Amino acid sequence: MLTAKQVDFFQENGYLILENLIDSDTIDGWREQIWKHFNSSLNTPETWPNEYVVQNFGFSPQFGQLPAMQEIIDQLGGGQFVGGGGSPLVRWPKPDEEWKLPGSGHIDAYGPGGWSPFLMGATTYVYDVEPGGGAFVYWPQSHKTTHKYFLKHPKQVDGSFTEIEGWGWHVFSDLSPEGPREFIASAGDVVLWHAYLCHTGSGNIRDIPRIGLFARYHHKRREEIRYEIPEDLWKYWSI
């Protein structure tokens, strides 16, 4: 369970980092599974593939369905949040590239498959991630400025903002009160993030792949409330 202080931090900043949430046995099992899928190993980089989205593969147990995650999701959503699935995303090492923090981020739910609104995401790593190692990058407190944008332009919540001439994802991250930060973490650490939090991936100039697991949770009444932009950002949460 999250403490009151952790919940307050999450609401204020739009993210919350939880250290050592996932046990080492689960992490070891995930490592074994994904290298078996690749028919490769961490010590044979010459056999590494180059796919970002790991197709036709899922970890067992699923990250988003772990008891520790479900306890938190039930606490934050009052039992109304569902989901938790997602494909692994891998940033393979490219040590010869110049590294810098991304200039802009995006918000999820507006991908090639169409608009799929959700309320919260979570990210963890299979291996430790150092600075410059392909980390998940996020803009603290940008969930508030994204919310203000949609309050001002509620009809655009369906993704029509992407059709505005000259519009780019930088619009959301440029509104953020803070610049980007890397989620530098050990394997098994988890970052929770509000769906309106601007985020993106980053380049990996280290020696090992960044294998990220992502989970997203939507409300059971998603179809009923999908066009609503409530004045209270936390209206459909239990916090």
- Does 239 reside within a domain? no
- Does 234 reside within a domain? no
Q: Is the torsion defined by CA of 153, 158, 162, 165 positive or negative?
A: negative
Contacts of 5 (CB under 8 A, 6+ apart): none
183 within 8 A of 18, measured Cβ to Cβ: no
127 within 8 A of 184, measured Cβ to Cβ: no
The total number of structural domains in the chain stands at: 1
- Across-strand partners of 137? 182, 200
- pLDDT for the residue numbered 10: 98
Count of CB atoms situated within 10 Å of the CB of 235: 10
Residue 85 pLDDT grade (very low, low, confident, very high; cuts 50, 70, 90) = confident
- Does 73 reside within a domain? yes
Place of tokens 């009444």: 221
Q: Is the torsion defined by CA of 56, 119, 121, 91 positive or negative?
A: positive
- Does 231 reside within a domain? no
- pLDDT for the residue numbered 108: 95
Domain housing 29: 4-225
* 3-state SS class at 170: helix
- Does 74 reside within a domain? yes
- Does 50 reside within a domain? yes
Average pLDDT over residues 24-50: 97
pTM of the entire structure?
0.96
- Does 19 reside within a domain? yes
- Does 75 reside within a domain? yes
